[in-house]
Amino acid sequence: MIKRILGVLGVIFGVLGVLLAVVQLIGIWIANPSITRGLQGAVGTMNQGLVVSHQVLTNSDMIAGDLRTELKSREGSLQPVMDRYRAGLAQIQVTVDSTRSAIDLSQEFIATVNSVPLLARSVGDLPQGERLAEVSQTLENLSQTLTDLQQESPRLAEASQEVRDRIDTRLGEVEGNIEQLIAIVEQKQAALSRIEARIPYMVTMGSVALSLIAIWFGLAQYCLLLLSWRWVKEKEPVGQEVQES
């Protein structure tokens, strides 16, 4: 009698388990396209931010170059270019701040991918920790140089050769750092593009893995259902029936 009761319970749980496994399988593959589009959209948004950063960095590089050219070519007082000088430095500083945000966001995402060995191998070579640290150092150097240049601003009116040379050297450092940042942004754009291209494959592989787990669970529940059904249909020995009666 107890065995039959356990069999009935086993049949109930087995049927529910098989149904749950089927629902899981259907849900996994229904959600697959939405997950793929969502991840590609997120990576695409980050990449678009880097595209904008690349454009403004290129403009800032041109601004720094124009300032150097104007400071070298102008004779006498530099007072007339002071406003453009200050505005140019302010624009470059804004560019540095926005680029820092875009790079930090992409670094966090790339670091997440790097932390999962299978994902990292799937998308190929991505920037590692050492190279990511160089980005922060370049940004810090550029910010410090811009601060120094802003402090030099009141001395522009003096127009001494020493001041000109010092400012020219600093602007040269700005150009060098901006060019480094442009190279870094291009590297991260390439990394994010590789990740975006591999997202369908990675999501499909994840769905396959989850499907295998769901199938294993469903088979286990099916085996439980068969065993429990056998217990339910199994007849008790005649002697035991007489004894119970």
Distance of CA 4 to the CA centre of its chain: 55
Do residues 145 and 220 touch, judged by C-beta distance below 8 A? no
Please give the full DSSP string across 128-174, using - where no structure is assigned.
-HHHHHHHHHHHHHHHHHHHHHHHHGGGGGG--HHHHHHHHHHHHHH
Q: Cα(159)–Cα(91) distance, rounded to whole angstroms?
A: 23
Which letter does DSSP use for residue 1 in this model? -
Q: Which pLDDT band, with edges at 50, 70 and 90, does 117 fall under?
A: low
Comparing 192 with 241, which gets the higher pLDDT? 192
pLDDT at residue 158, rounded to an integer: 58
Taking the CA atoms of the chain, what radius of gyration do you get in angstroms?
33
pLDDT in tens, 148-183: 766 766 655 555 677 677 777 877 888 888 888 888
Per-residue DSSP letters for 207-238?
Answer: HHHHHHHHHHHHHHHHHHHHHHHHHHHPPPPH
Model confidence pLDDT, tens digit, residues 59-80: 888 888 887 787 777 665 566 6
pLDDT of residue 13: 85
pLDDT of residue 105: 77
Q: Can you give the pLDDT at residue 243?
A: 47
Tell me the residue type at 135: V
* Interhelix angle 82-114/2-73, nearest 10 degrees: 160
Q: Would you state the pLDDT for residue 81?
A: 66
